[in-house]
Structures are given as structure tokens and as C-alpha cells.
């Protein structure tokens, strides 16, 4: 069958943290997430080669894959990479090898070579290797591997052209010769395995030749995998009825393999898998001896010295706490003065200045309110998020790039174990400070399904970046000077509830022990200014443009919807719009937590917040807007600037002080609310406890649709539903209990009882649900080639 020219497909594969995504970004010009810890990439990502020359009118598709140490997979992310490499037929495999850890990285290489697919090996991190004085004989190396070897530095974008040359050169199926070097892309290297193994393989090959060729797999490799007793290959033989329709034939084949395994075991007294791995490592050691002009020694490195201190039991946890505290201080407290500056200066410009301008050109008042307060206010609000989000991303980038993330797994393991999880689960949680979606995805690296699902349950308790705009807006509206403190307390409440939830679900729904984990500790890198700031800037840009769009769209939509009455309320005579109607219908549910009966706007905002948390901000801007005065008086930009600057300086002093004494000003909180009573009442929150209860609800209730969708995809419908129900009801319980303790009345007792019953209901739910936590890396999770794509 002659098919039209397809895209060329190039797969990037290699050990975790070897720089695959960095190379992917360099080849495609994209900005996929990178970080200095193993397991950053957890799904297949595709991009197109950005090249000036178009390669014979053919698009070149680059596929970035999760990292793997070998072609045996233990977790979901590894399975994605392995199944792509084995089941798909990329036109070229680029194997990225971290040259600073040659021996271990070459283990995967020896496996890949035996697939006999077109391949090149990229020696990445050459910049580091040069600093360490590593010298490699490349010609000799190519000879040993039987395929081109390209030294590169993905970070410094060195060697990229040569990779592009190979991408251009490789052709299937006729031209597998690298024209420049006269070397072959399909290696014919023979790894000197134990003679017993070779003998058994030779005996097996006639039986599996047909099936292997049909699957475009190398018969030798297939036989080797059968001897390793690789469950995937066994399953392949067992289940693939199209290839061997006769059950008996299949059984005979499997039996032959089993007998071979037993014979090998008897002869060598070793497990066959180990014997094969041993063969590969012997070969690798031989290569390294020959090609390294200066041997890589295993001396104590600077990273080891740093770890000596940071992993010390008495230093580790306090240091981590300080890191989290600093993260928080940077993102909230220190950004406070910047927020105020932006609020005053740009508010003066876009709201007041704009409204003066619009008044001067005699626009009708409703339009001025909409444009100046609505749109102008919306823009100002979006701008006020820049400082906290910038600082959060900055600290996260620093954590991710430095290599500290992987250490946290060791430091926090004991605590996480008490929580019912393994230390590795802390990584998704730290990622969760940025966004819940990648955090849930990051659980793919956890090998044990129980740990993975339980981590997904707990991740939403970490307030994501999108909740910060909401917290900041509330703080700005209701307690501008104590913003940092309130937000800090919200975060702490989140941690506290995560702990309680962990303790509950490990006893009810997720019985059993967290699994053991192995985790590689990458060398520390001092993050470069460029790296960190570029990274931060890109994430910030993405966030602000997304949040900006969401918020402005919400403002415009809600304002429009709210202008169209659907009926006249028979009791009050007021015009109801769809929003007031729905809002008023749901609001009674929130009365126990202090939402006033006529504060329908608060309810609508919660519903809007389901779509994206930052949309709550847009909703507030739109729904409470008509009740805010427009600016009248003299307006001058220099006055606005001076006011903004003075406030900034004054706030900075307060912020610096509160970094050292975070709880100092807790008493003044209520007082400050009283001062701004007049404005606040317009927003229908009658006292500070109503505001705090409302914030608590926002902290805990249902995650946004994007997060619900990933939870659904990653953990299944049942768990996603349980999570949604649990979080929302828990939010109501916590907010209600808080509010009723704060403003205790006779009615409170009833609410306490109802909250208690609701909580008991949640416990029963956890006790009753049956969550399947059996291992999920089952052979049948591989996408086997179907008849259809085999024909192609």
C-alpha cells in the first residue's frame, strides 16, 4: 500500500533528568516544563522541528517522552515512554545520554540499540563534562555503539545543528546510512551475553521469528525479553490471537521459554534478568574504559557535601520549613507593597483617569461605570496579581532548578509516611503550589496505585496559584494591611486539613502501607539568573494572559447577563435576572456560614469559580460594581504617582517587619475591618467573620473544572466524584463551624449538629467506597499495534 508522505517522527528518549525536554524545547522552540529532578515530564508531548530548511516538504514531528532507566517499566510515566518506543515506529530515536553519568545512562542505550531501530546517541551536558575534564574518544565510541554519537549541550544549544543534520539524513526504509560519517543508523552491535543465554535465544528465535517481524520487533530482542520473563512480552504472546491464532502453539512457545529460563537458572544459579543486565553492564564498563580518556571517578562532589548538611535529620526539616515560609513570604508579604503600588497607580490611571476622560467626552453614566470601573477595574485587578504570582513562580523555579525538590522526598518521608503516603508524594504537592493540574499529573511517577490516588485526594488542599488572586482581592478589599497574615493562615489551614484528611482516608478508604520508593538525587545546580527569570517570566506571562482573559470575559459576560431581566419578583417588585434568580435560590445553603440572604453575588461567584478560581475575581468586579461610586474631583497623574509611591514605601516597612513577626498584628485585623466598614458593607459582608468563613470555603471547595477533569482522567470517575463531594461538603462544614464559633448564637448549636452529621456522612462514604488499588502497570495497559496501524 502506497501511503502519502507522512510526517517524520523523531522520538526523544533517555534517563530521567538527562535533558530530553531541554533538547525538545531547543528543537521545537517551545517552552515545555523542565526541572532538575527526575520525573518532570510525565506524558508524551509533540512539537514540530523549527528549521529554516523544510525537509523535502515533510513536517518533522518531535516527540518528548518521560524518562526511563530501562525498557522495563514500573510506573505510568515509564510505561508511556516504553510503549511508544516499542510499539510505535519512530523514524529516528534520539537517545539522550547524560554524559556526566555515562555508565548508568548507557544501560538504556544498550537496550535501545538491540531494538535495531534507526537511532542516534546524543551526549548531553557536554558543558559540565568539559568542566569536569571528561574527554571522550567519539570515533571509538561510535564504533562501539554502531550508530552516530553527537556531543551536545541542550542548555547552551550547542550541537543542535548536527542533530538536525541527522534528522534530515535518516530515511526509512532504504537509506539507513549516515552519508556524512558512512555509519549506520541501525546498529548491528552484539552485546556479549553469557553463552548459555545466547544458546537459549538461538533456540527460541525460530519459534518467535514470525510474531516479532509482524510486530516490527527484533527477534533477538524479543527472545531476550521472553527470557527476562517480561510480563508485557509474555502477555503479547498470550493475548495476540491475530498473530498466533492457535492456543496450543502459544502455550508451547511460552512453555519453551519457561523451560529455557529454568535451565538457565540451574546452570548459572542466577536470575536470568540479572544475568542479562550483568552482561550489559560488563559491556558498558568495557566501553567506558576504552573511550574515556580520563576516567569518571566516584569522588565526593560538592553536591554530596551540601547533602551532608541538608539531609541531616536536625537540619533537613527545619530547612524545608524555612524554604516554604520564605516562598510564602516572598509571594505574599513582600509582594504586598507592589500590589498596593499597582492598585493605587494603575487604579488611578485606568479607573479614575479613564472615568474623568470618559466624562469629559460626555458618555452616558452607565457606560462610564462599565468601561472605567468594569473594564478599567478589571485590568487593574489583573495587574495586581503580577507581583504575587511572579514571586511564587520565581521561588518554584528556583526550587525546581536547584535540585532541592528530589531531596524533599527524603527529608519528608517520615512525615509523609505518618500521613499514609511515601516521601515521593511530596513532589506533586510542591508542584501544587503552582497549579493542581500538573500536580495531579505528577503523581504518575508514583509506582503504587494506592499512593497515587491518595496523593490526588490531598493535592487540592495546597492552594494553587489561581487562588492567590482571589485571596489578594479579598485582602485588598477587606483588610489591606493584614493581607499577608490572612493568606498565610489560609495556607496553614489547608495544610492542616490535608493532614486530617490523610489520617482519615488512610484508615478508611486507603488501607495498607505506602510503597517503598527509589529516587535519584540529581546534582545541585546553581540556577542561572537567565534560566530562572526566563522560566518565571514565561509562566507568569502564560498565567496573566490566561487569568486576564478569564477575568475580563467574566466581567463582560456577567455584566451583560445581569442587565437582562427574566422576570419581576412578585414580592419585592425588583427585576430578577438569571443570576439573581439562581443566586438567590442557592444562597440559603450558605446562610449557616454567614452569607447574608441577599448576598446572592457571593453565591454566583462561587459557581463561577468552578470554571477557574481566578474568575471569582471577575465575578466580584462585575456583580458589586454598580454600587461603587465613580470618581469625581480633580485628577492628576503626578498626584496618583506620589500617593502610590508613598504607600509603597510605607507598606514595605510593614512587610519587612511582618516577615520577622508574622503573627504580630493578628489583633488589629478586626479593627482594620471596622475602619473600612462603609465600603465593606456595600459588598454585603457585614462583618469580618463572614469574609473569613467565605474565604475558608473558597480555600477548600471543589477544584476548578480543569483539575476535576484531570482527576477524572487520572483517577477515574469514582474517585473524582468522591473528591468533589468531599471537598465541597468539607468546605461547608469548616466555614460553618468557624462562623458559628465566631458569632455564637442559639442557632449555632443546630448548625454544629448538622455539620457533625455531615462529617459523619463523609466518614461513612470513605468507609463504604471500594477503591481499586491493585497494581495498574498491567500488561494490558500497553497500546498494542492493531491490525489497522500494522498495515500502514
Partner 1 sequence: MINENLIPLSKAVINCKYKIVDNPNQKYFELGLYNGSEINVFKTNDRNLVIAVGASRYILPQKVAKDIMVMKVE
Ligand X SMILES: Nc1nc2c(ncn2[C@@H]2O[C@H](COP(=O)(O)OP(=O)(O)OP(=O)(O)O)[C@@H](O)[C@H]2O)c(=O)[nH]1
* Cα-based distances in Å from 209 to 74, 203, 680, 702: 27, 11, 78, 54
The H-or-E segment that residue 94 falls in is strand 92-98
Q: Please tell me whether residue 277 binds partner 1 under the rule CB under 8 A.
A: yes
Q: Please name the residues in contact with 472: beta carbons below 8 A apart, sequence gap of 6 or more.
A: 339, 384, 385, 388, 483, 487
Q: Please tell me whether residue 431 binds Mg ion under the rule CB under 5 A.
A: no
* Cα-based distances in Å from 486 to 9, 75, 727: 51, 40, 21
The set of cell numbers assigned to 786 is 492493531
* In the complex, minimum distance from the CB of residue 277 to partner 1, in angstroms, rounded to a whole number: 5
Whether residue 671 is preceded by a cis peptide bond, meaning omega within 30 degrees of 0, is: no
When CB distances are held under 5 to 8 angstroms depending on the partner's kind, the choice from Mg ion, partner 1, ligand X, none that residue 274 binds is: partner 1
CA–CA separation, 147 and 141 (whole Å): 9
CA 111 to chain CA centroid, Å, is 29
Q: Whose grid coordinates read 570515533?
A: 139
Q: Which is nearer to Mg ion, 41 or 690 (CB)?
A: 41
* In the complex, minimum distance from the CB of residue 195 to ligand X, in angstroms, rounded to a whole number: 36
When CB distances are held under 5 to 8 angstroms depending on the partner's kind, the choice from partner 1, Mg ion, ligand X, none that residue 516 binds is: partner 1
Q: Whose grid coordinates read 478569564?
A: 550
What is the DSSP code string of 269-292?
A: SS-HHHHHHHHHHHHHHHHHHHHB
Q: Which is nearer to partner 1, 312 or 597 (CB)?
A: 312
The H-or-E segment that residue 777 falls in is none
- Which of 51, 181, 216, 303: binder of partner 1 (CB under 8 A)? 303
When CB distances are held under 5 to 8 angstroms depending on the partner's kind, the choice from ligand X, Mg ion, partner 1, none that residue 556 binds is: none
CA 184 to chain CA centroid, Å, is 39
Q: How many CA atoms lie within 13 A of 275 on its CB side?
A: 21
CA–CA separation, 423 and 431 (whole Å): 14
Report strand pairing: 183-184 vs 177-178: antiparallel
Stretch that binds partner 1, among 177-185, 295-303, 589-597, 633-641 (CB under 8 A): 295-303
When CB distances are held under 5 to 8 angstroms depending on the partner's kind, the choice from ligand X, partner 1, Mg ion, none that residue 18 binds is: ligand X
Burial class from Cβ neighbours inside 10 Å (0-12, 13-18, 19+) for residue 496 reads exposed
When CB distances are held under 5 to 8 angstroms depending on the partner's kind, the choice from Mg ion, partner 1, ligand X, none that residue 584 binds is: none
User: Are residues 75 and 777 in contact, defined by beta-carbon separation less than 8 angstroms?
Assistant: yes
Q: Which is nearer to Mg ion, 40 or 439 (CB)?
A: 40
Q: Please tell me whether residue 417 binds partner 1 under the rule CB under 8 A.
A: yes
- Which of 200, 230, 401, 621: binder of ligand X (CB under 6 A)? 401
Q: Which is nearer to Mg ion, 41 or 599 (CB)?
A: 41
When CB distances are held under 5 to 8 angstroms depending on the partner's kind, the choice from Mg ion, ligand X, partner 1, none that residue 672 binds is: none
Maximum Cα–Cα distance across the chain: 97
Q: Which is nearer to Mg ion, 445 or 736 (CB)?
A: 445
When CB distances are held under 5 to 8 angstroms depending on the partner's kind, the choice from ligand X, partner 1, Mg ion, none that residue 72 binds is: partner 1
What track of x and - describes contact with partner 1 for positions 113 through 152 (by CB under 8 A)?
----------------------------------------
Q: Whose grid coordinates read 488499588?
A: 773
* In the complex, minimum distance from the CB of residue 92 to ligand X, in angstroms, rounded to a whole number: 18
Q: Which is nearer to partner 1, 285 or 546 (CB)?
A: 285
* In the complex, minimum distance from the CB of residue 419 to partner 1, in angstroms, rounded to a whole number: 13
CA 557 to chain CA centroid, Å, is 30
Stretch that binds partner 1, among 56-64, 410-418, 428-436, 628-636 (CB under 8 A): 410-418
Q: Which is nearer to ligand X, 258 or 520 (CB)?
A: 520
Stretch that binds Mg ion, among 34-42, 50-58, 470-478, 716-724 (CB under 5 A): 34-42
Q: Which is nearer to partner 1, 307 or 400 (CB)?
A: 307
- Which of 18, 22, 72, 601: binder of partner 1 (CB under 8 A)? 72
* Cα-based distances in Å from 594 to 570, 638, 741, 745: 26, 42, 11, 12
Q: Please tell me whether residue 355 binds Mg ion under the rule CB under 5 A.
A: no
Q: Which is nearer to ligand X, 405 or 771 (CB)?
A: 405
The H-or-E segment that residue 658 falls in is helix 637-660
Q: Please tell me whether residue 779 binds partner 1 under the rule CB under 8 A.
A: no
Q: Which is nearer to Mg ion, 22 or 493 (CB)?
A: 22
- Which of 13, 100, 183, 187: binder of partner 1 (CB under 8 A)? 100
Q: Please tell me whether residue 651 binds ligand X under the rule CB under 6 A.
A: no
Q: Please tell me whether residue 311 binds partner 1 under the rule CB under 8 A.
A: yes
- Which of 27, 28, 38, 378: binder of ligand X (CB under 6 A)? 38
Q: Which is nearer to partner 1, 313 or 573 (CB)?
A: 313
* In the complex, minimum distance from the CB of residue 306 to ligand X, in angstroms, rounded to a whole number: 16
* Cα-based distances in Å from 466 to 28, 283, 735, 765: 28, 51, 20, 29
- Which of 9, 11, 27, 34: binder of ligand X (CB under 6 A)? 34
Please list the residues that pair with 128 across neighbouring strands: none
Q: Please tell me whether residue 410 binds partner 1 under the rule CB under 8 A.
A: yes
Please list the residues that pair with 567 across neighbouring strands: 576
How is residue 47 annotated by DSSP?
Answer: E
Positions 107 through 166 that interact with ligand X (CB under 6 A): 124-125, 127-128, 153-155
Question: How many binding residues for partner 1 (CB under 8 A)?
Answer: 41
CA–CA separation, 246 and 267 (whole Å): 32
Q: Please tell me whether residue 231 binds partner 1 under the rule CB under 8 A.
A: no
User: Are residues 672 and 482 in contact, defined by beta-carbon separation less than 8 angstroms?
Assistant: yes
User: Are residues 499 and 419 in contact, defined by beta-carbon separation less than 8 angstroms?
Assistant: yes
Residues comprising the chain, all counted:
792
What track of x and - describes contact with ligand X for positions 53 through 72 (by CB under 6 A)?
-------------xx-----
User: Are residues 388 and 667 in contact, defined by beta-carbon separation less than 8 angstroms?
Assistant: no
* In the complex, minimum distance from the CB of residue 655 to partner 1, in angstroms, rounded to a whole number: 37
Three-state DSSP state, 295: coil
- Which of 13, 18, 95, 422: binder of ligand X (CB under 6 A)? 18
Q: Which is nearer to partner 1, 215 or 454 (CB)?
A: 454
User: Are residues 120 and 167 in contact, defined by beta-carbon separation less than 8 angstroms?
Assistant: no
When CB distances are held under 5 to 8 angstroms depending on the partner's kind, the choice from ligand X, partner 1, Mg ion, none that residue 307 binds is: partner 1
Please list the residues that pair with 58 across neighbouring strands: 55
Q: Of 77, 86, 105, 196, which Cα lies nearest the Cα of 714?
A: 77
Q: How many CA atoms lie within 13 A of 152 on its CB side?
A: 30
Q: Please tell me whether residue 22 binds Mg ion under the rule CB under 5 A.
A: no
Positions 40 through 79 that interact with Mg ion (CB under 5 A): 40-41
- Which of 33, 48, 51, 74: binder of partner 1 (CB under 8 A)? 74
Backbone angles phi, psi at 407, to 5 degrees: -65, -30
- Which of 107, 144, 354, 739: binder of partner 1 (CB under 8 A)? 107
The set of cell numbers assigned to 130 is 568539559
Q: Please tell me whether residue 520 binds ligand X under the rule CB under 6 A.
A: no
CA 651 to chain CA centroid, Å, is 34
- Which of 168, 171, 520, 668: binder of partner 1 (CB under 8 A)? 520
* In the complex, minimum distance from the CB of residue 65 to Mg ion, in angstroms, rounded to a whole number: 8
Convert 568-590 into a string of H (helix), E (strand) and C (coil): ECCCCCCEEEHHHHHHHHHHHHH
Residues forming the site for partner 1 (CB under 8 A): 69-70, 72, 74, 100-104, 107, 228, 271, 273-274, 277-278, 281, 296, 298, 303-304, 307-308, 311-313, 406, 409-410, 413-414, 417, 423, 516-523
- Which residues contact Mg ion by CB under 5 A? 20-21, 40-41
What does the binding site for ligand X look like in residue numbers (CB under 6 A)? 16-22, 34-36, 38-41, 66-67, 124-125, 127-128, 153-155, 401, 525
Amino acid at each position: 500500500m502506497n501511503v502519502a508522505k507522512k510526517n517524520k517522527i523523531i522520538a526523544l528518549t533517555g534517563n530521567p533528568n538527562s535533558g530530553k525536554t531541554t533538547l525538545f524545547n531547543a528543537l521545537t522552540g517551545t517552552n515545555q516544563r523542565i526541572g532538575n529532578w527526575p520525573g518532570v515530564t510525565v506524558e508524551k508531548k509533540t512539537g514540530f522541528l523549527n528549521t529554516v530548511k523544510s525537509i523535502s516538504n515533510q513536517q518533522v514531528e518531535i516527540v518528548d517522552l518521560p524518562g526511563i532507566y530501562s525498557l522495563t517499566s514500573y510506573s505510568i510515566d515509564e510505561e508511556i515512554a516504553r510503549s511508544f518506543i516499542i510499539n510505535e515506529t519512530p523514524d529516528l530515536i534520539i537517545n539522550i545520554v547524560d554524559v556526566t553519568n555515562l555508565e548508568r545512562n548507557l544501560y538504556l542505550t544498550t537496550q535501545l540499540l538491540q531494538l535495531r531501530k534507526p537511532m542516534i546517541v546524543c551526549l548531553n551536558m557536554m558543558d559540565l563534562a568539559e568542566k569536569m575534564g571528561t574527554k571522550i574518544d567519539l570515533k571509538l565510541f561510535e564504533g562501539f555503539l554502531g550508530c552516530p554519537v553527537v556531543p551536545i549541550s541542550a542548555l547552551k544549544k550547542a550541537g543542535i545543528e548536527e542533530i538536525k543534520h541527522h534528522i534530515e539524513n535518516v530515511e526509512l526504509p532504504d537509506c539507513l546510512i549516515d552519508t556524512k560519517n558512512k555509519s549506520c543508523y541501525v546498529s548491528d552491535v552484539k552485546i556479549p551475553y553469557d553463552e548459555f543465554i545466547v544458546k537459549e535465544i538461538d533456540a527460541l528465535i525460530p519459534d518467535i521469528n514470525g510474531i516479532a517481524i509482524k510486530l516490527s520487533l527484533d527477534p533477538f530482542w524479543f527472545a531476550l525479553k521472553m527470557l527476562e520473563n517480561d510480563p508485557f512480552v509474555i502477555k503479547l504472546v498470550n493475548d495476540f490471537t491475530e498473530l498466533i491464532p492457535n492456543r496450543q502453539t502459544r502455550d508451547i512457545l511460552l512453555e519453551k521459554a519457561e523451560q529455557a529460563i529454568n535451565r538457565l537458572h540451574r546452570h548459572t544459579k542466577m536470575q536470568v534478568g540479572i544475568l542479562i543486565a550483568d552482561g550489559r553492564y560488563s559491556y558498558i564498563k568495557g566501553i567506558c574504559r576504552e573511550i574515556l580518556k580520563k576516567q569518571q571517578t566516584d569522588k565526593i562532589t560538592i553536591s554530596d557535601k551540601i547533602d551532608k548538611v541538608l539531609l541531616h535529620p536536625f537540619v533537613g526539616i527545619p530547612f524545608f520549613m524555612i524554604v516554604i515560609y520564605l516562598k510564602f513570604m516572598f509571594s505574599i508579604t513582600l509582594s504586598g507593597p507592589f500590589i498596593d503600588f499597582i492598585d493605587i497607580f494603575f487604579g488611578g490611571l485606568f479607573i479614575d483617569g479613564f472615568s474623568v476622560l470618559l466624562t469629559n467626552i460626555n458618555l452616558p453614566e452607565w457606560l462610564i461605570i462599565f468601561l472605567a470601573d468594569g473594564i478599567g477595574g478589571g485590568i487593574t485587578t489583573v495587574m495586581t496579581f503580577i507581583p504575587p504570582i511572579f514571586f511564587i513562580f520565581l521561588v518554584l523555579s528556583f526550587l525546581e532548578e536547584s535540585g532541592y525538590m528530589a531531596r524533599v522526598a527524603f527529608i519528608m518521608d517520615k512525615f509523609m509516611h505518618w500521613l499514609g503516603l511515601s516521601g515521593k508524594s511530596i513532589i506533586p504537592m510542591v508542584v501544587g503550589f503552582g497549579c493542581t493540574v500538573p500536580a495531579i499529573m505528577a503523581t504518575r511517577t508514583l509506582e503504587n496505585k494506592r499512593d497515587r490516588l491518595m496523593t490526588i485526594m490531598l493535592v487540592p488542599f495546597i492552594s494553587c496559584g489561581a487562588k492567590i488572586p482571589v485571596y489578594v482581592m479579598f485582602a485588598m478589599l477587606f483588610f489591606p494591611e493584614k493581607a499577608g497574615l490572612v493568606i498565610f493562615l489560609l495556607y496553614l489551614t489547608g495544610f492542616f486539613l490535608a493532614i486530617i484528611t490523610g489520617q482519615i482516608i488512610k484508615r478508611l478508604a486507603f488501607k495498607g502501607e505506602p510503597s517503598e520508593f527509589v529516587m535519584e538525587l540529581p546534582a545541585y545546580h546553581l540556577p542561572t539568573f537567565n534560566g530562572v527569570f526566563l522560566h518565571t517570566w514565561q509562566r507568569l506571562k502564560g498565567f496573566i494572559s490566561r487569568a486576564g482573559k478569564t477575568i475580563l470575559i467574566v466581567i463582560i459576560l456577567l455584566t451583560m447577563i445581569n442587565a437582562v431581566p427574566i422576570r419581576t419578583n412578585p414580592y419585592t417588585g425588583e427585576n430578577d435576572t438569571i443570576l439573581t434568580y439562581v443566586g438567590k435560590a442557592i444562597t440559603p445553603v450558605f446562610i449557616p456560614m454567614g452569607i447574608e440572604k441577599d448576598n446572592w453575588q457571593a453565591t454566583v461567584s462561587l459557581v463561577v469559580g468552578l470554571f477557574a478560581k481566578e474568575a471569582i475575581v471577575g465575578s466580584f468586579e462585575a456583580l458589586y460594581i454598580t454600587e461603587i461610586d465613580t470618581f469625581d474631583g480633580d485628577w492628576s497623574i503626578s498626584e496618583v504617582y506620589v500617593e502610590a509611591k508613598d504607600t509603597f514605601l510605607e507598606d514595605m516597612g510593614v512587610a519587612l517587619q511582618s516577615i520577622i513577626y508574622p503573627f504580630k498584628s493578628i489583633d488589629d485585623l478586626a479593627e482594620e475591618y471596622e475602619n473600612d466598614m462603609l465600603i465593606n458593607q456595600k459588598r454585603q459582608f457585614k462583618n469580618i467573620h463572614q469574609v473569613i468563613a467565605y474565604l475558608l470555603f473558597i480555600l477548600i471547595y471543589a477544584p476548578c473544572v480543569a483539575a476535576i477533569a484531570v482527576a477524572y482522567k487520572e483517577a477515574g470517575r469514582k474517585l473524582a466524584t468522591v473528591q468533589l463531594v468531599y471537598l465541597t461538603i468539607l468546605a461547608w462544614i469548616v466555614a460553618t463551624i468557624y462562623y458559628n464559633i465566631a458569632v455564637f448564637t442559639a442557632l449555632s448549636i443546630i448548625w454544629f449538629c448538622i455539620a457533625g452529621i455531615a462529617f459523619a456522612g463523609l466518614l461513612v462514604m470513605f468507609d463504604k467506597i471500594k477503591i481499586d488499588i491493585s497494581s495498574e502497570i498491567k500488561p494490558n495497559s500497553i497500546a498494542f499495534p492493531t491490525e489497522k496501524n500494522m498495515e500502514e
